[in-house]
Amino acid sequence: MEPIIDLKNLCKSYGSHVAVDQLNLKIPHGEIFGLLGPNGAGKTTSILMMLGLTEPDSGSAIVCGYDATRNPIEVKRKVGYMPDNLGFYPQLTGLENLVYMARLNGLPEKDIIENARRFMELVGLKAASDKPASSYSRGMKQRLGLAEVLIKKPELIILDEPTLGLDPNGVKEFLELIKSLQQEQGLTVLLSSHHLHHVQQVCDRVGIFVDGKLLATGDLPTLSHELFGNTGVETSIYLTQVPMDADVLKDKFSSFPELNSLTISGVNLQFNTTEDITPKLIRRLIESGLDIQAVSQKQYGLDEIYEKYFEKNTNLTPEHESD
Amino acid sequence: MKAISESHYWATNKNNSKENYQLSPFKVMVRKEVSDHVRSWRFILLLALVVLTFFASLYISMSNIRATFTNTNDPDHAFFYLKLLTATDGSMPPFHILMSFLAPLLGITMGFDAINSEQNSGSLTRLLAQPIYRDNILLAKFYSAMLIIATLFISLTLLMIGGGLFLTGVRIEPQEFLRILAFALLTMVYVGFYLSLSIMLSVAFRHAATSALTALGIWLFFTVFYPIVVNLAIRAFLPDAAYLTQSETMAYNELILSIMRIAPGQLYSDAATTMLMPSIRSLGPMSMEQLSGAIPLPLPLRESLLIVWPQLSGLLAGSIACFALSYYLFMRREIRS
């Protein structure tokens, strides 16, 4: 099956500033893909090129089977886009804003009002449907934006910083809704965000963008493996007493191919392994007659992966919130 | 937020059929723009100003209509309805002169923030992410404003004719009706020029205040300063009329008029006066030889239209040029707010 997004050597410059440099990306149907990167990394420019709203200097963007540069109308018919800077017509109510967008998408007049009310209810704005959009909070605007994206029944949803300005509960609900959309409706979601934690919660794969370049794509274990090699998982096991002979203890784990290193400092045994083999380690320690006090594990998360990529490519501090 | 599985949100959309009534995106945008204009306070205020001006000038004309109608020295005295628009006792200028000031304001008010306000509020990105052509947005803005302007002037025209009929019982001649209609169309074209100009400025400038001030500056320049500048230039560069032959004087006068006609207001005044005063036979200087033997009769409508055709073409060309420039700028515009 052809990918829903297929970007090949996509480039865009503004004067001497290279916004997007040789972007190659394939996103299959039904996936939630997260685009990560600091401000000015080229995420929004890439999204706009996918929608045919900005013309690339070179390369091609095939979205939902259509060339976004040559056939932007067909692409926009199948893609729901929620921009980061959401602006609604303040003089219209939330419902009227939604109905307007539904009409622009050619939805049958007969069902528009009914459908719009349903989607207002879906995003939790039923009570505020008839209030002017100017009175909406940032969170309410995000919800209205999502309703607008969904009402056209898109094949692909592109969300640019969708959790910006939402309270923690709102973020949780929003992400759950996105996840359920993907699972139940088979929608593909492309999500750009600074909130690494949020991306980690819902995305199947992520792409890391720095200075217009997509440095890496993949799921978390793959990215972790690429970056940290065989030091992907760190397990600390605390014993009840200091082991008698460290070398003998190390010999007991030498047959484990996943083990990179073992550091013994007092009662603390630190294992570096290529994958999570904690149960095996515990079993071997118990077989050796040692009593275990506590076990802790550190796995490299998106925060570490992101920062590592950023350090490798720039001298700047990444802009993100790791809440 | 509810779980998506709770109801079939798109159930009705799945049953789309050709029979289902759908509006084209262009019509949807026009409807929304018309509704926005009608509901906006600035338009309501300006509309009130135009309507008040119309009724005030009509009242003054009606008060003096008897004297005007019986003044046989005036070759246009028999055109009762045209006189309603042109007759005045000097207390206030006639309606068509007032319109040469008010019409640009109407056009500027309706277009100065057409695009930049949408871009600044972030709604332009949302709008362009829908399956609509980019130029349709520009066209919808222009079309909706022109629709309102046309409705306004046609209503005023019909109101005037109806009011005249009701108050005096004088039947309107077809030629008068057509002249008044032509005047209304001319006024629409004049408003259309300033509308087109202000839409272009709203594309060119990011801030609505900048585009509004620039449009007002252009209007003020052509209305107030341009005639002064032309007069100063004439005094500085043209030779003393006493040393010129008749043909040289005629040539210089033609030149001065041509320079003056760069101003859209001059084009409108020339054309409006010709349409409302059938006795006007030429808009340029005429020699005594040309005038001698001419029968002092009002011109037929066709002849008057021939006289104003260059003025009308000039206004239309200006509007089209401004619209083409806004199209060019808008199509190449980066839409990120």
A89 to chain B, minimum CA–CA distance in Å?
7
Statement: residue A317 has pLDDT above 50:
no
The count of residues in chain A is: 323
CATH class entry, domain A5-225: alpha beta
ipTM here: 0.80
pLDDT digits (tens, 9 = 90+) for A156-182: 999 998 887 777 887 888 888 888 878
Alpha helices in chain A (DSSP H): 43-50, 72-78, 94-104, 109-122, 138-151, 168-185, 196-202, 220-228, 246-253, 278-287, 302-313
Among partner residues A54, A110, A185, which is closest to B334 by beta-carbon distance? A54
The pLDDT, as a whole number, for residue A323 is 36
The residue with tokens 């799945």 is B14
B316 to chain A, minimum CA–CA distance in Å?
31
Chain B residues in contact with A107 (beta carbon < 8 A):
13, 16, 22
Write down the domain spans for chain A. Answer: 5-225, 233-299
Query: Which value, to the nearest 10 degrees, does the dihedral of the CA atoms of residues B319, B277, B87, B151 take?
Result: -40
Q: What is the pLDDT along chain B (337 residues), one digit of tens a residue?
A: 555 544 455 554 444 454 466 778 999 999 999 999 998 888 888 888 888 888 888 888 788 777 777 777 777 777 778 888 877 777 788 888 888 888 999 999 999 999 999 999 889 999 999 999 999 999 999 999 999 999 988 888 888 888 888 888 888 888 889 999 999 999 999 999 999 999 999 999 999 999 999 999 999 999 889 999 988 888 888 877 777 787 788 788 888 888 888 899 999 999 998 888 887 776 666 666 666 666 667 788 888 899 899 999 999 999 999 999 999 999 888 877 5
Q: Which CATH superfamily is domain A233-299 in?
A: Protein-tyrosine phosphatase receptor IA-2 ectodomain (3.30.70.2470)
Chain A residues in contact with B10 (beta carbon < 8 A):
115, 153
pLDDT band at A277 (very low <50, low <70, confident <90, very high): confident
A20 to chain B, minimum CA–CA distance in Å?
15
A186 to chain B, minimum CA–CA distance in Å?
12
The pLDDT, as a whole number, for residue B1 is 56
The least confident of A97-101, A164-168, A256-260, A299-303 is: A299-303
Terminal Cα distance for chain A, rounded: 37
The pLDDT, as a whole number, for residue B294 is 67
The residue with tokens 């349709």 is B136
The least confident of A123-132, A269-278, B187-196, B262-271 is: A269-278
pLDDT digits (tens, 9 = 90+) for A208-241: 888 888 888 888 777 776 666 655 678 889 988 8
* Those residues with Cβ within 8 angstroms of residue A296's Cβ, 6 or more apart along the chain or in another chain: A235, A236, A238
In B, minimum Cα distance to A100 occurs at B28
pLDDT digits (tens, 9 = 90+) for A5-34: 999 999 999 888 899 999 999 999 989 999
**Rounded CA separation A32/A187 (Å):** 8
Nearest 5°: the CA angle B216, B218, B223 is 90
Q: Is the dihedral of CA B246, B251, B255, B261 positive or negative?
A: positive
Instruction: Centre a 10 Å sphere on the Cβ of residue A150 and count the other Cβ atoms it contains.
Output: 25
DSSP-derived 3-state class of residue B128 = helix
Q: In what order do the strands lie in the sheet with A66-67?
A: A17-27, A5-14, A58-63, A66-67
Statement: residue A318 has pLDDT above 60:
no
Statement: residue A39 has pLDDT above 50:
yes
The region that residue B60 occupies, defined by phi over 0 for left and psi between -120 and 50 for alpha, beta otherwise, is alpha
Q: What is the mean pLDDT of chain A?
A: 85
In A, minimum Cα distance to B17 occurs at A108
Q: What are phi and psi of A27, to 5 degrees?
A: -120, 120
Terminal Cα distance for chain B, rounded: 29
Please choose, from the candidates A169, A165, A168, A167, the residue with its C-alpha nearest in 3D space to the C-alpha of residue A145.
A165
**Rounded CA separation A37/A211 (Å):** 9
Cβ atoms of B153 and B187 within 8 Å: the answer is yes
pLDDT band at A135 (very low <50, low <70, confident <90, very high): very high
User: Could you tell me the two tokens for A272?
Assistant: 């570096």
Asked if B254 has any chain A CB less than 8 Å from its own CB, the reply is no
User: Could you tell me the two tokens for B285?
Assistant: 């200087």
Asked if A251 has any chain B CB less than 8 Å from its own CB, the reply is no
